[in-house]
Amino acid sequence: MRLSWQDLGTPRAENADGRTIELDGWPNTALPVRTADYFLLTGEPNCCAGCLPANPLAVVEIFAGEEIAFGDAALRLRGTWHVLRDDPAGWRYQLRGARRIGITRRSLLASVPMAALPLPAAAEPVSGLTIDLHSHAGQVLYVHSQNGNYPFTPVTEPMREGGMAVICLAVVSDSPTSHRIEGRIRPYRDPAPGELYAHTQLAFARLHRLVREQGLVIIRDAAALATARADRPSIIVSSEGGDFLDGMSDRVDEAYEKWQLRHLQLTHYRPNELGDIQTEPAIHDGLTVAGAEVIRRCNELGVVVDVAHGTYALVKKAAAVTTKPLVLSHTSLTERPVPWTRRITPDHARAIAATGGVIGVWPVKAYFGTYRSYAEGFARMVDVAGIDHVGLGTDQLGLVGASTMPSYADLPQLAAALRERFNAEETAKLLGANYQRVFAASLA
């Protein structure tokens, strides 16, 4: 009997208890191993453990008789299906005695780009205004490690080498209340009053120390962004998650003045005071009243509003509230979504484009094995959202899994692959001009 991911939660899956079934999916483990006899299976690859769906109807526990080798593609497994009742870990389904039974057509298509297609030829550093919509470069996330003195990794030199002019460098506002549980990064407790505000102040301070030590320039207005150059790399101060606001829109003003915040992502790994997220059950029906007020204040003050990690319901409500373009800084397109995915559908993408906004395509290697396949991911997003509404969002050093573009020094490889599909003007839009337009409109 074959089961699909759309069967989970339906009588077809429930009535298969005790039967031998086959299921295709992608393995997920807490540690970066290549074989395992216990792991979790999902309907599509996840960029990192933090994006593993919390919904028990979107994950299957796998117990194999012997270790299964993963490779870089989907598995087809056969085993005995078990439907769980009151499982302590919260899971609903298990596949016991699982064994791999060959390669699927989907697996073959996924693996061909990694194994068979050559990389584009190396190119000269990219010219023009290039912008990464979402980055944690420099190990800026290590706020509390070594008493806040965890060493930075180089940011400026790789940017110069590859021709990357500007990155939206993001702190993370909710990390103290999330950790890895059963291989997943999830919110595990409510924050203490003021806890995430205090944490994010330290995070902003660490970001500014990186700026000083590596000679980066902070972009504060549209004129500064228009004149940015890769030989003098710059950043836009960003926050991944508005958790530090505690639902208070006036704290946007404080971050704007004190830390030069110009790019705010509303949500991250916890459903917060502003709205719901893609990887946890919805509790707000999308955007909250406080979230709407924060969007309005960002519009008035001049801060880009980023709806990455937010649910489609949040995005639709945000689009109805905002008077400025929205950004969805890091994702990719899927035509066949599985439950609780971090990827977005064409309708989700069009909702961003309808505001005049831009969607950043991320280089998750499980989706895009080479620069050519990564460029194809851009092309698919352009097909549904339009050439004016797509950009680059690397999530550098935020991806636990492998990245197709692990260094800004490799930007010319991506540019060369994009030039195989787009002309020079279109490529310039994708690599920076589209976000420049949105930034200027947001700060106007």
Query: Which of the pair, 262 or 40, is modelled with greater confidence?
Result: 262
d(CA 306, CA 295): 10
Query: Which of the pair, 300 or 119, is modelled with greater confidence?
Result: 300
Q: Is the pLDDT of residue 148 over 50?
A: yes
Q: What is the average per-residue pLDDT within 220-234?
A: 97
Summarize pLDDT for 159-174 with one digit per residue, the tens: 999 999 999 999 999 9
Query: Which of the pair, 51 or 97, is modelled with greater confidence?
Result: 97
Q: What is the average per-residue pLDDT within 219-230?
A: 97
Q: CA 114 → CA 36, 362, 367, distances in Å?
A: 22, 17, 10
Measure the CA angle with vertex 92, ends 314 and 51; round to 5°: 40
Domain boundaries, the chain: 5-115, 131-443
Q: CA 14 → CA 18, 281, 345, distances in Å?
A: 10, 21, 28
Could you tell me the pLDDT band of residue 48, with boundaries at 50, 70 and 90?
A: low
Give residue 4's pLDDT: 86
Q: Is the pLDDT of residue 88 over 90?
A: no
Average pLDDT over all residues of the chain: 90
Could you tell me the pLDDT band of residue 116, with boundaries at 50, 70 and 90?
A: very low
d(CA 427, CA 423): 6
Give residue 43's pLDDT: 83
Instruction: Please give the CATH architecture assigned to the domain spanning 131-443.
Output: Alpha-Beta Barrel (3.20)
Least confident of 114-123, 349-358, 433-442: 114-123
Percent of the chain with pLDDT strictly greater than 70: 90
Give residue 114's pLDDT: 35
| 320 SS3 class | helix
Tokens of 121: 């030829």
| 393 SS3 class | coil
Letter string b/e over residues 315-328, b meaning 16 or more CB atoms within 10 A of that residue's CB: bbbbbebbebbbbb
Give residue 112's pLDDT: 37
In sequence order, the β-bridge partners of residue 232 are 229
Task: Out of 3.40.50.970, 2.40.50.870, 1.20.120.140, 3.30.870.10, select the CATH number for domain 5-115.
Answer: 2.40.50.870
Q: 297, 347, 288, 343: which is closest to 317 by C-alpha?
A: 288
Q: Are 55 and 28 in contact (CB under 8 A)?
A: no
Q: Are 39 and 77 in contact (CB under 8 A)?
A: no
Q: Is the pLDDT of residue 340 over 90?
A: no
Summarize pLDDT for 412-438 with one digit per residue, the tens: 999 999 999 999 999 999 999 999 999
Give residue 26's pLDDT: 84
Q: Is 95 left (phi over 0), alpha (psi -120 to 50) or beta?
A: beta
Q: Which long-range contacts (CB under 8 A, 24 or more apart) does 32-37 make?
A: 32/400, 32/401, 34/69, 34/70, 34/71, 35/67, 35/68, 35/69, 35/70, 36/64, 36/67, 36/68, 36/70, 37/63, 37/64, 37/65, 37/66, 37/67, 37/68
- Max distance between CA atoms of the chain, in angstroms, equals 65
Backbone angles phi, psi at 361, to 5 degrees: -95, 130
d(CA 435, CA 444): 14
Q: Is the pLDDT of residue 111 over 50?
A: no
Q: Is the pLDDT of residue 400 over 70?
A: no
Q: CA 76 → CA 4, 21, 351, distances in Å?
A: 11, 10, 35
Summarize pLDDT for 185-218 with one digit per residue, the tens: 678 899 999 999 999 999 999 999 999 999 999 9
Give residue 182's pLDDT: 56
| Overall residue count recorded for the chain in this entry | 444
Percent of the chain with pLDDT strictly greater than 90: 71
Q: 119, 18, 17, 36: which is closest to 75 by C-alpha?
A: 36
